Copies of this chain bind each other. A is one copy, B any other.
Amino acid sequence: MEYKQLTEDSVVDYLKSVPAAKEVLGDLDNLDIREIGDGNLNFVYFITNKSDPTQTAVLKQAVPFLRIVGKDWPLPKERMTFEIMALENESDLTPEHVPEIFHSSHDMSLVLMQNLKDYPVLRGQMNEGKYFPNLAEHVSTFLAKNLFYTSDWYLDHRTKKEMVKKFINIDLCKITEDFIFTHPFCKSDTNAYNERLTEKDINFIHEDDELKIHQAELKYKFMNNAEALLHGDLHTGSIMADAEKTYVIDPEFAFFGPAGFDVALFIGNMFLAYFAHAHRQTLLGNDPSEYRTWILDQIRETWNKFEVKFESYWKEHFEAEKDLFWDYPGGEKAHAEYRRRNIARIFDDAMGIAGSVMIRRILGLAKVSDIADIEDLDARAEVERMGLRMGRELIINHTKYTTIEAVADLATGISPADQAVPASSAT
């Protein structure tokens, strides 16, 4: 089928050509179709049977430009091909944490999938101070399964390399290279600053030799290290959840990169929420410590559970595989140490990149509502300075933090301040 951009009016005609649509939605002549328009990149339609609201689905279609900017910013609609392929892969590994796919079409750059309307976006709910008792458990499973089972430690050499080839995702990687790893760290026109941040706050990031060198190294690692199939955009805005269930959506940035990257996106965003709630909780009339403690607990638990799960999948595979290379007296112990060192290296990558993620959400184009929606710009700047200070420390010194507890302690040690530059290192 030749590509055609759908509209609210033409969606029904398309659905009539899709056998799965009738199964899911029932009477295709009795549908409520609404374009919800909350994506930056794509068109998303909520489709519901008017007589039976349980018969519902979401149709997501990519258009050949960046929706938020318009036709002047071309972006290949083939990004949906990556999203479909990644969703299929994640559905195999972690079906409980991704929307069910009813139908997909590479030609039409669209996917028809489970409507998750009962599971709002995590970021918005966290902004309101909601708790999610299963968050760390679920996110750690999603991360550990999707990362381990797409690495060379599990896949055979041919499958892995064929997947790497299939997932070379040039255009969306470029967005990450620019907007996470480059622009926020220099005087780019694409940046946007809270006007209460001072030049000194900003140059604390833009003109620090060690930070620049380490930041360039993190970007190089992102561009060169085809370790595991990443979601590629796993922040708290890509998670939909309630107290029981957790879904990860929107994997159009999927490609093979360093395993720590997805961990970094989630944890970096959680630390931003942690700093934001130093202010947000006072607005909600609460002592901030309770919710902030919960956030830190989730961060620690997510990593600690990830580590345990990743190691257990690996150990299980190792024991089943009986690799001749490790078959010698002591080989089992040596392999355990090999696993330990690699998981420590993934942690190290993740903490460095988490620093980049935190800073880019403060100085770069794409903000997080956790912070950017704080109306009191001075209060917002205080939060931002905490994020800048922690991000900088992680980028430069990530190798010095070998446990998530040490990183959490770093966060708790950073208080609202009137400048990002710590007094001790101010020049």
A212 touches B173 (CB 8 A): no
User: Of the candidates B152, B209, B223, which one forms a contact with A157 in the assembled complex, judged by CB atoms under 8 Å apart?
Assistant: B223
User: Of the candidates B212, B223, B226, B325, which one forms a contact with A224 in the assembled complex, judged by CB atoms under 8 Å apart?
Assistant: B226
Given A212-B334, A334-B209, A341-B213, A188:B324 Cβ within 8 A: yes
On chain A, the number of residues with a Cβ less than 8 Å from chain B's Cβ atoms is 46
Number of chain copies forming the complex:
2
Residues of B within 8 A of A152 (CB): 220, 223-224
Interface residue A4 (Cβ < 8 Å from any Cβ of B):
no
Complex CA distance for A368 and B152, rounded to whole angstroms: 30
Interface of A is mostly: helix
Residues of B within 8 A of A334 (CB): 209, 212-213
Given A152-B220, A220-B152, A330:B157 Cβ within 8 A: no
A330 touches B207 (CB 8 A): yes
Interface residue A225 (Cβ < 8 Å from any Cβ of B):
yes
Residues of B within 8 A of A330 (CB): 207, 209
Chain B's nearest CB lies how many Å from the CB of A130? 39
Interface residue A338 (Cβ < 8 Å from any Cβ of B):
yes
Residues of B within 8 A of A382 (CB): none
Closest chain B residue, CB of each to CB of A228: B224
Complex CA distance for A381 and B158, rounded to whole angstroms: 37
A168 touches B174 (CB 8 A): no
A207 touches B329 (CB 8 A): yes
User: Of the candidates B170, B220, B226, B325, which one forms a contact with A185 in the assembled complex, judged by CB atoms under 8 Å apart?
Assistant: B325
Interface residues in chain A, defined as those with a beta carbon under 8 Å from any beta carbon in chain B: 152, 157-158, 160-162, 164-165, 168, 170, 173-174, 177, 182, 185-188, 203, 206-207, 209, 212-213, 216-217, 220, 223-227, 324-331, 333-334, 337-338, 341-342
5 closest cross-chain pairs (CB), A and B: A209-B334, A207-B328, A165-B168, A186-B325, A213-B338
